[in-house]
Amino acid sequence: MNQAKQVRKVAFLGLGVMGYPMAGHLVAAGHNVTVYNRTQEKAQKWAQQYGAQWAATPAQAAKGCDIVFACVGEDKDLREVVLGENGALAGMKSGAVFVDHTTDSADVAREMSALFAERGMTFLDAPVSGGQAGAENGVLTVMVGGDQKAFEAVADVIEAYACSVTRVGAAGCGQLAKMVNQICIAGIVQGLSEAVAFGLNAGLDMKLVLPVLEKGAAGSWQMKARGATMVDNAFDFGFAVDWMRKDLGIALAEAKRNGSVLPLTALVDQFYGDVQRLGGRRFDTSSLIIRLPRPTTKK
């Protein structure tokens, strides 16, 4: 974990499986952190664990802060923590920066960017990749859209929980880059699912074969991190199917707007729908393999 170059007063809104450890890394880096969560008991638990503060509303958490971070569910959740008399915007000071780690639409990122600019503040869309393990270990990849100067002002703080922090363009570009990321993952996981199922049906010891393939052209993070667990029929490793479907829905909607054709992504999105109907809503994304016939594997 990188040490902070300058202590900041910050707020973190949203203490889910990602936000909880991310906010903790900010405390460990020496920052003055106040958190908000819709379930107050979770905010209180976090504050006790990390010896920091919690607030009853986003506005209270954001009051006087240099940077306000958020990691919530989707567009409506972001609007809920930002807008209104209890929203973060009501409590933020002029010149403050709002960093949104939620995976949401490019449209809401542009909307928020314009709204914050009107108030003399800056909004950065900064979705993350790396999943729950990346958040817990402080090695997330962060793709940022928005003002260059604001990005430079907060990048070293984000490094408390990231191994890579990169500005990829103007407002909304961070979210567009995350869509590219999810499109890539969808195709890779489906291909890996088919490959593992094929190998098992052919009688191969896939626990032996996969480490061999990792060293060749077929190797990928998904193969290395999820191949063996797919063989074991284990799917409790973080990023849930429900969230992947939400993300793919955002990408498919954006594709309609910009004229892209995503046949594989649309198909895999339907496959994830099958997983949901099979009871796998909270399984991780590697659970695509449960749709495919294969020998019985241990759980």
Percent of the chain with pLDDT over 90: 94
CA dist list (Å): 95 to 4, 37, 89, 166, 254 = 20, 24, 12, 21, 31
User: What is the dihedral sign for C-alpha 93, 97, 101, 107?
Assistant: positive
What is the spatial distance between Cα 261 and Cα 180, in angstroms, rounded to a whole number?
13
- HEC secondary structure over 24-36: HHHHHCCCEEEEE
Q: Specify the pLDDT at position 6.
A: 85
DSSP structural state of residue 221:
H
Percent of the chain with pLDDT over 70: 97
Is the pLDDT confidence value at 4 over 60?
A: no
- pLDDT confidence tier of residue 297, bands split at 50, 70 and 90: low
Q: Six-digit token pair at 228? A: 């063996």
Of 5, 63, 149, 178, the active-site residue reads 178
Q: Six-digit token pair at 163? A: 């191994």
Q: Could you confirm whether 5 is annotated as catalytic?
A: no
Is the pLDDT confidence value at 2 over 80?
A: no
Helices then strands, each counted (H, E), the chain: 13, 9
CA dist list (Å): 127 to 10, 29, 77 = 18, 21, 15
3 state DSSP class of 14: coil
| Contacts with 23 (C-beta within 8 Å, 6 or more apart), sequence order | 12, 15, 33, 35, 46, 50, 69
What domains can be seen in the chain, in order of their start residue?
A: 9-169 (3.40.50.720), 177-291 (1.10.1040.10)
